[in-house]
Structure 1
Amino acid sequence: MTDQIKHHLTDALLMAYSAGSLPEAFNLTIATHISMCDECRARLGAFDSLGGALVEETESVEMSAGSLEAVMDRLKAPEEKKEKPRKSKGVLPAPLQDYIGGDLDAVRWKSIGMGVKQAILPTSRDASARLLFIPAGAAVPDHGHQGTELTLVLKGAFADEVDHFGPGDIEVANEDLNHTPVADIGEDCICLAATDAPLKFKGLIPRIAQPFLRI
């Protein structure tokens, strides 16, 4: 699959993920993409190494009381082995299956109209994550963004004003993008989407329904 991925994470997102400064919803989406994409996983490794080098060169500061004891306790703990990305046996990648406790049969879909369904995932309040099911040939209402939206294709594909996005591709949208994602005709599309601000719908009906759908 990784050879087919043409839309990757930005350096800024990978660096923020490495630094641990992103909301939980974004971390989940990025971790899921990284499990599917060798290129972004390699770039993340480079940023992790860079971060470690910067820490080593940082000037020392006075430690707080109890810091030494806390470090010694951690050193005594069993070492955690870094595992290679585990391949999923289902439709959803392993990090997402671990998060929701199963594959698609564990997802509790709710209809949001026109055959489109969503399942909001429990994350911290600073951003939201949801699985989206878009029937083949169906469209998500035209909308813009008040913040950042990450959309990762898990199954099927969609196209919008930017490009065509297939399995493993991730679209990074911001305030400059207004688009109408449309699922390919041949197959239903399932995506993982994370947003840190409400979307801006142009249509009246989506705007009325927006508070109830928590989009």
Structure 2
Amino acid sequence: MSVKHHVSDGLLAAYATGELAEGWSLAIATHLALCPECRVRLARFETAAGELMEETAPDVAGIDQSWDAMRRRLVGAEVHAFPVQPAVSAPVHTAVIPEPLRSYLGSDVDGLKWKALGRGASHIMIKTGDSETSVRLLRIPAGSPVPEHSHGGRELTLVLAGCFTDGSERFARGDLEEADETVEHQPIAGAGEDCICLAVTDAPLRFKSRLLRLVQPILGI
């Protein structure tokens, strides 16, 4: 497995400083479980954050501004002092769903109970402790498109099995796609295997289809 689409610097810096809501953190932590390169990047951010904390005098009144300043410095931090180590052979893991996501679901894929969404697609809602995000596991039939839509906010989609294409880009296991209000798209699951992915949003999707907009409150997407 070779991950090609990674978490952005801004999100990784916010994750390193503990600023993200649980849903976003779950998506990033699960991506990190599948992506050695981003684990190295996270170590750099955490080291830089620790150094910045030591340099910064406490300022309770300006703590929000201090976090913003730290995040900006983390994103622009020099990282060449932490060379990427050669890959080391590790035991082969057969689980489709890695930790920490598997603990939220209570099972790997074979033990899950899916709820139909229509057109062969299904999902499982995942409970978190935050009120900001909506988190779900999605299963899209092989070769099938997701209904065309745009976004009312941010969406993170992490592929766990199979793949999907979005325009000219292909997303496979471990790849993370980040979309926002500027994106209108229609991802298509790859042929030969259902696409299973983790999707996190902070606002309802904006479907182009009028019918889907009518049933959207029932489906909860």
Query: Please, what TM-score do these two structures have when normalized by structure 2?
Result: 0.82
Q: Which has the larger radius of gyration?
A: 1
Q: Which amino acid aligns with 1:116?
A: A
Q: After superposition, what is the alpha-carbon deviation per residue over 1:125-149, rounded to whole angstroms, capped at 9, x for unaligned?
A: 2101100000111111000011110
- SS of 2:143's equivalent in the other structure is coil
Distance 1:110 1:100 in 2: 14
- Which of 108, 112, 115 matches 2:117? 112
- SS of 2:31's equivalent in the other structure is helix
Q: After superposition, what is the alpha-carbon deviation per residue over 1:14-56, rounded to whole angstroms, capped at 9, x for unaligned?
A: 0011111111111111000000001111111111111111111
Correspondence list, 1:29-48, <5 A:
29-48=27-46
Q: After superposition, what is the alpha-carbon deviation per residue over 1:81-126, rounded to whole angstroms, capped at 9, x for unaligned?
A: xxxx997542111211122222113422111110000101001221
Which ranges of structure 1 fall in alignment gaps of 5 or more residues? 63-84
User: Which residue of structure 2 aligns with residue 129 of structure 1?
Assistant: 135
- Which of 132, 151, 155 matches 2:157? 151
Distance 2:191 2:26 in 1: 28
- SS of 1:93's equivalent in the other structure is coil
User: Which residue of structure 2 aligns with residue 27 of structure 1?
Assistant: 25
- Which of 142, 148, 153 matches 1:142? 148
Distance 2:8 2:91 in 1: 23
User: Which residue of structure 1 aligns with residue 103 of structure 2?
Assistant: 98
CA positional deviation for 1:59: 1.2
Q: Which amino acid aligns with 1:142?
A: E
Distance 2:43 2:160 in 1: 23
Q: After superposition, what is the alpha-carbon deviation per residue over 1:165-199, rounded to whole angstroms, capped at 9, x for unaligned?
A: 11111100011111111111111110000001111
- SS of 1:13's equivalent in the other structure is helix
**Are residues 178 and 103 of structure 1, via their aligned partners in 2, closer, same or farther at CA, if it must alter by over 3 Å?**
same
Distance 1:45 1:33 in 2: 15
Q: Which amino acid aligns with 2:46?
A: D
Distance 1:176 1:61 in 2: 36
User: Which residue of structure 2 aligns with residue 73 of structure 1?
Assistant: none
Distance 2:125 2:200 in 1: 10
Preserved CA contact (<8 Å) 1:109 1:119:
yes
Which ranges of structure 2 fall in alignment gaps of 5 or more residues? 61-89
Cα-Cα RMSD: 1.8
**Are residues 197 and 88 of structure 1, via their aligned partners in 2, closer, same or farther at CA, if it must alter by over 3 Å?**
farther
Which piece of structure 1 moves more, 93-102 or 129-138? 93-102
Aligned residue pairs: how many?
191
Which piece of structure 1 moves more, 10-19 or 156-165? 156-165
Which portions of structure 1, spanning 4 or more consecutive aligned residues, are displaced by more than 3 angstroms? Answer: 85-89
